[in-house]
């Protein structure tokens, strides 16, 4: 099984933690972003776990005046086999979890997906999409927020243009189909196309498409040009860009968010889109403040009920 190595960025902020489970459960494990693949071994006697996954928010761009899109929230019950080991992915805005990057702006990326992948079945089980990267129009300073991640379709990027450089903005991933990258009408610049299911993000005029954390898990976000790229998800969001050197002649689009997924084998769940630059699922009793917001990593919480011997 191919897995993505550590991505660039700041030191890992956390490790696996326990805590107080929600009503109806006796055990809990909370997985924070570490920029690496994590695992969960199903305890003996357990046939079902409950997953709550928050995708990463997209990174901001342009002196941090812009806002990345908020990460999605996917939750549900997952049928499992005692003793099997699941892959756990927790996305971040530094390249882990499939977010696309813009090479000249350090290691920031669109938000990475978070979710579970079954080694036994070789398929994703649940995925919370990451938010698209934000940008700003360099010539007039207008901040453009990235499209939110999650839900059946990730959010589209915002657009701002003047003069004779119109074009089309970046689109969010929809279902298993990656979103189109932004295209400037004179066809001189374009953002990378978001990856379809099982594909990394595409490369446009510049930057790097998002890499999959596990081969076959979701789609990577498209690269950005002069902006942070698209969010990773079940399908990746398209990458944006900005061009132009005059207040009367420019085009800018932020990047699209990645789609969510809650329909793997043996899964009964739901996926919800982020709202603006904030994560979905903030009313959940297991939500940690800040998780999934613009510039913030995602999280995965697993709970289960102990069965009698």
Residue 76 has pLDDT above 90, yes or no: yes
Residue 137 has pLDDT above 80, yes or no: no
Residue 226 has pLDDT above 70, yes or no: yes
Q: Which residue did the predictor score with more confidence, 279 or 249?
A: 279
- pLDDT category at 166 given cuts 50, 70, 90 is confident
Which string of DSSP letters, residue by residue, matches 161-188? EETT--EE-----BTTBPPPPPEETTSS
How far is 35 from 79, CA to CA, in rounded Å? 27
By the 8 A CB rule, do 74 and 127 touch?
Answer: yes
How far is 69 from 132, CA to CA, in rounded Å? 5
Q: Which residue did the predictor score with more confidence, 184 or 38?
A: 38
Highest mean pLDDT among 33-42, 130-139, 299-308: 33-42
- pLDDT category at 136 given cuts 50, 70, 90 is confident
How far is 53 from 77, CA to CA, in rounded Å? 12
By the 8 A CB rule, do 295 and 256 touch?
Answer: no
**Mean pLDDT, all residues of the chain:** 89
Q: What is the pLDDT of residues 39-55, one digit of tens each?
A: 999 999 999 999 999 99
- pLDDT category at 15 given cuts 50, 70, 90 is low
Residue 16 has pLDDT above 70, yes or no: no
- pLDDT category at 176 given cuts 50, 70, 90 is very high
Residue 31 has pLDDT above 50, yes or no: yes
Output the CA angle 73-228-146, nearest 5 degrees.
Answer: 45
24 burial level (CB within 10 Å; 0-12, 13-18, 19+) = exposed
Overall average pLDDT of the 105-120 stretch: 88
């Amino acid at each position: 099984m191919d897995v993505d190595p550590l991505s660039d960025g700041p030191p890992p902020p956390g490790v696996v933690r326990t805590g107080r489970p929600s009503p109806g459960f006796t055990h809990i494990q909370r997985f924070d972003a570490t920029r690496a693949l994590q695992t969960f071994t199903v305890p003996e006697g357990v046939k079902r776990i409950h997953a709550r996954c928050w995708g990463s928010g997209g990174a901001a761009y342009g002196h941090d005046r812009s806002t990345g899109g908020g990460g999605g929230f996917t939750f549900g019950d997952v049928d499992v086999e005692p003793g099997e080991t699941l892959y756990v992915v927790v996305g971040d805005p530094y390249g882990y979890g499939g977010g696309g990057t813009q090479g000249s702006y350090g290691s920031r990326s669109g938000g990475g997906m978070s979710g579970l992948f079954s080694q036994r079945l070789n398929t994703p089980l649940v995925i919370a999409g990451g938010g698209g990267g934000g940008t700003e129009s360099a010539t007039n300073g207008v901040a453009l927020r990235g499209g939110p991640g999650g839900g059946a379709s990730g959010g589209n990027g915002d657009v701002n243009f003047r003069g004779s450089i119109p074009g089309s903005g970046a689109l969010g991933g929809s279902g298993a189909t990656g979103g189109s990258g932004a295209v400037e009408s004179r066809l001189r610049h374009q953002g990378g196309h978001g990856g379809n299911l099982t594909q990394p993000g595409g490369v446009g005029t510049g930057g790097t498409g998002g890499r999959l954390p596990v081969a076959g898990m979701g789609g990577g976000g498209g690269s950005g040009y002069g902006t942070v790229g698209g969010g990773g998800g079940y399908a990746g969001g398209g990458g944006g860009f900005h061009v132009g050197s005059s207040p009367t002649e420019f085009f800018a689009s932020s990047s699209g968010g990645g789609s969510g997924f809650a329909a793997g084998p043996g899964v009964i769940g739901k996926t919800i889109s982020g709202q603006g630059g904030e994560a979905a699922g903030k009313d959940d009793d297991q939500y940690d403040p800040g998780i999934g917001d613009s510039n913030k990593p995602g999280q995965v919480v697993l709970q289960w009920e102990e069965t009698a011997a």
